[in-house]
Chain A
Amino acid sequence: MMQLDNLYQEVILDHYKNPQNKKLESDNDAQVHHINPSCGDEVTLGVKLEGEKILSVNWDGVGCSISQSSTSIMSDLLIGKSLEEAAVISESFLQLMQSKGSQDGDETVLEDAVALAGVSKYPARIKCALLGWMAFKDASVQALSKKTN
């Protein structure tokens, strides 16, 4: 059970049971819907910007504890950051997911998201963990281009 505990950290199960920012807002600058076609997990995610600053990341979704907690943790982490900071955090998370269990993650950058480090040992679950992050990337690009147009 040791390895499984490594995957299902307390932080993950907490976020799964009490997801943060899981309430779609009606005045988002951009909203996207992403699906993991291999399992059917879904996330709808909205972003609000003020200049380069992330005012809100709000979402709704159905799926496993990994996809839902990862989205919840991410939303907590990114709200209030600049888009540039968000890109650094997202890149760091992506690297952690692709590390095949060789990294623990930089807690100063990723904070609670390091709890998802164990996912990188389970190839089938990496897409679950990335679902919300990819949705954020998509939504933030759309929101930014809308603002600058």
Chain B
Amino acid sequence: MSIRTQLSRYNVQLLNGDVKSLLSDSFARMIGIGVGFVLWSLLAAQFPRELLPTPIETVGLAWGLVADGTAWIHISTTFQSLFWAFLFAMLLGGTLGVLMGLNSYSQNFFTPYVNIGLSIPGLAWAAVAFLVFSYGSIALGTLRFAPVVAATLTVFPYVAINIWKGVENIDHDLLRMANAFSISRRRVLWRVVLPNIAPQIFSAVRFGLAIGWKVTIIAELFAGSAGVGYKLEHAYQVYQYEEAWAWAAVFLFIIILIEYGVFKPIERRAFDWRSDVELSDIGGA
């Protein structure tokens, strides 16, 4: 949503005397985070620092990991696994989703696989991948197969189901319009089909990354020799619980960075037309 649009929304809210919702819009998130910090601090006060550090101590420890470069080494390992898992899941899930959306034969053929995939927890795939890939030691360079396979198998059904529904619900009137005006297939793909299924693609990407992160970390807990998951597990093994909290904080920071630094701006840009439409005053013949 553009600043102009956001301001227009605030204007409308103010004109309607809706100050309460304006305040809750702006502050609810911050209050929520603040309450979380207070509760964490109160809880931390009941335990030894080595077991549960306060939020400020945790941020300090996390900064230490970032400052001495340790965090980057392991984050890059996790990122590498996630990148490949996400790519494979998007390719596999996207292809199945398009096929399922286009014809009922493919839909009937692939539905059991997607349903089974949705019902198997990531933890199970992580354990299976750990066993199959010889305790995680099979690797291509620095890339460990077990986290990639576990995350790919967990994520692809979510991608497939989103893309399937997107393709299935394409506005056929628009396709007929494009056909009537003899528009080329490439132009139809870019200007009609992709914008039409953009919300589902976006949802698939978001879901895919969110689940992919978790499963990659879990697989690294089982089968890693590097990565954020491996470091978390290692910290617990050597009773350095405060370091485990610090790794969790680093991980949380990256997720927030991706959400607000990548997803939100793309979402605002891609769906700006929706908010403009919501704010408009429709009238006239």
Q: Do A and B interact?
A: no
